[in-house]
Structure 1
Amino acid sequence: MTATGRTPVVFIHGLWLHASSWGPWLDLFRDAGYAPLAPGWPGEPDTVQEARRHPEVVADTGLHDATEHFGRILASVDGNAIVIGHSFGGLIAQQLLGQGRAAAAVAIDPAQMKGVLPLPLAQIRSALPALRNPANLHRSVSLTRQAFRYGFGNALPQEESDQLYDTWTIPAPARPVFQAATANFAPRSAAKVDTGNAARGPLLIVSGTQDHTVPDVTTRATFKQYRRSPAVTELRQFENRGHSLTVDSGWQEIAQDVLQWLRGRGL
């Protein structure tokens, strides 16, 4: 609990969206009695416009850098926080939970962890803006409007997808995409999660069944990684929802379900 008696909730965004895209979630969770915050990734500027002007400040940021960054933020809040992440933020949320650094976690369309084997063509195509050039490993990469439409907005009308692109997209480090893509070949992969920690808090995994960036089959494979753990792990699937589900016009359906889950767990 914080000094105000409110449970801290730390929101972690994924690649290509700015931290401020969590704004409506922060308002909802604050009204529900939590103490929410949505910090950016290491070096991420405070505004979308500034992030677009200075893509170099996030270049070469890797998963370990980001996980430790958010781990320090969790340690700085008053009490054991809940962590909610989307995409690569969902992978980081699972890492932090597995390390015992959060009270509970929600991983929404989480990026692929080490041990997850399915690799659908849609997922490969969504990752190509980062992976097509090996030199991108040390760079930040921006999505085109067309790439965003395929990877994030495929379940939306074109107009809404374009509006989200114009409002929230920022350049992102490509290194985490390379780290996830090679995770099953790297003994000490930065995308590894301690799925066997029996003492960890509850975990909710959320999947959009029309997601191209993290297809439902990938998210279900992530859920299966916890099958031997006695700790609480649950899966929610939302039909006809894509990777934009945290920021598009249907975000409240996801957010309200997450709130209901947290309350059901006494969190």
Structure 2
Amino acid sequence: MPDNTPVLFIHGLWLHASSWEGWIERFTAAGYDASAPGWPGDPDTVLAARAHPDALADHGIDDVVAHYAGLIAALPVKPIVVGHSFGGLIAQRLLGEDLAAAAIAIDAAQIKGVLPLPLSALKATLPVFKNPANKHRAVSLSAEQFRFAFGNAIPAEESDELFDRWAIPAPGKPLFEAAAANFSPHSPAKVATDNTGRGPLLLIMGGQDHTVPEAVTKATLKQYRHSTATTDLVEFADRGHSLTVDHGWPEVADRCLVWLKDQGL
């Protein structure tokens, strides 16, 4: 691995970019130049994001991809991108468009072509879909809703602590775009899964995830069947959607570091 290879961590919906702080420290210690820039409009702190939800509203998938593409253009070399949930979809877009050296997509939101829509995923996203006007708004979760969507595989007390520490409003637009992806020929959720010249991709799934159940990640893997580029899958069978921030995150981070070493990155 070259010294100081850049790594960009990309958060998903309802978690602030600062939730990657432990990962940044761990990857920095391993020799990477790690950072977690937020989505367009993201305030610097959790409190500011909660106080100004309108700043987060109405940013779609293409907006987010363009934002990170601009950040990547300023780097000396292609970064490794690590994304969680919708951040995982963004990471796959960036990799498919040859903007990243490698990507790790953790419990990634469904890309175009993925058909399974488990009931738990519908329930987890109901706070957004219950009102069509939420497409242009930022939507907050309650602690109870967060517990179902993120914290179902950890104690309720820990889920509530994570909610208090990291949860922020999230734009509804990416969810509406992903939901309509298979009906739109030019969907922003479309990933260049047939790109054979891209860097390696690691998909990680939590076996207890309500928001992105394992059926979604397995279906995502099948979308890459026409590419000869490296595409690997790792499962944490007892983990939910909170796996990047709960007490078990170091195990997930270390598995990512091992995989990157195996790829020579």
TM-score above 0.5: yes
Aligned-partner residue type, residue 182 of structure 1: A
- The Cα offsets for residues 100-141 of structure 1, whole Å up to 9 and x where unpaired, read as 000000000000100000000001111111111000010000
- Residue deviations 1:59-95 (CA, integer Å, cap 9, x gap): 1000000011011111111211100000000000000
Q: Equivalent residue for 1:183?
A: 181
SS at match of 1:206: strand
* Residue equivalent to 1:262: 260
Map 1:87-166; keep pairs closer than 5 Å: 87-166=85-164
Counterpart in the other structure of 1:246: 244
Distance 1:115 1:249 in 2: 33
Letter in 2 for 1:75: A
For residues 138-178 of structure 1, give each alpha carbon's deviation from its aligned partner in whole angstroms, at most 9, with x where no partner exists: 00000011110000000010000000000000001000010
TM-score normalized by the length of structure 2: 0.99
2:83 maps to: 85
1:206 aligns with 204
1:47 alignment partner in structure 2: 45
Q: Which residue of 1 aligns with 2:193?
A: 195
1:190-237 Cα deviation digits (max 9, x unpaired): 100000001000000000000000000101100111012100000000
Q: Which amino acid aligns with 1:22?
A: W
Secondary structure class of the residue paired with 2:251: helix
Question: Which sits farther off after the overlay, 137-146 or 72-81?
Answer: 72-81
Please tell me the root mean square deviation across aligned C-alpha atoms, in Å: 0.9
Name structure 2 gaps, 5 residues minimum: none
Measure, in 1, the Cα distance between the counterparts of 2:199 and 2:54. Answer: 36
Report whether the alignment pairs 1:30 with 2:28.
yes
Hey, what's the Cα distance between the residues in 2 that align with 1:14 and 1:6? 25
Give me the whole-angstrom Cα distance separating, in 2, the residues matched to 1:200 and 1:194. 9
**Separation of aligned partners in 2, 1:128 and 1:67:** 25
SS in structure 1 opposite 2:240?
Answer: coil
Q: Distance in 2 between matches of 1:181 and 1:78?
A: 36
> Which letter does structure 2 place at the counterpart of 1:74?
I
Q: How many residues align?
A: 265
* Structure 1 residues 22-79: Cα deviation after superposition (integer angstroms, max 9, x where no partner): 0000000000000001000001000000000000001100000001101111111121
Whole-Å separation in 2 of the counterparts to 1:8 and 1:173? 27
What stretches of structure 1 of length at least 5 have no aligned partner? Answer: none
Amino acid at match of 1:73: L
Find out whether 1:62 has 2:60 as its counterpart. Answer: yes
Report runs of 4+ in structure 1 exceeding 2 Å deviation: none
Task: Look up the match of 1:218.
Answer: 216
Q: Distance in 2 between matches of 1:107 and 1:75?
A: 21
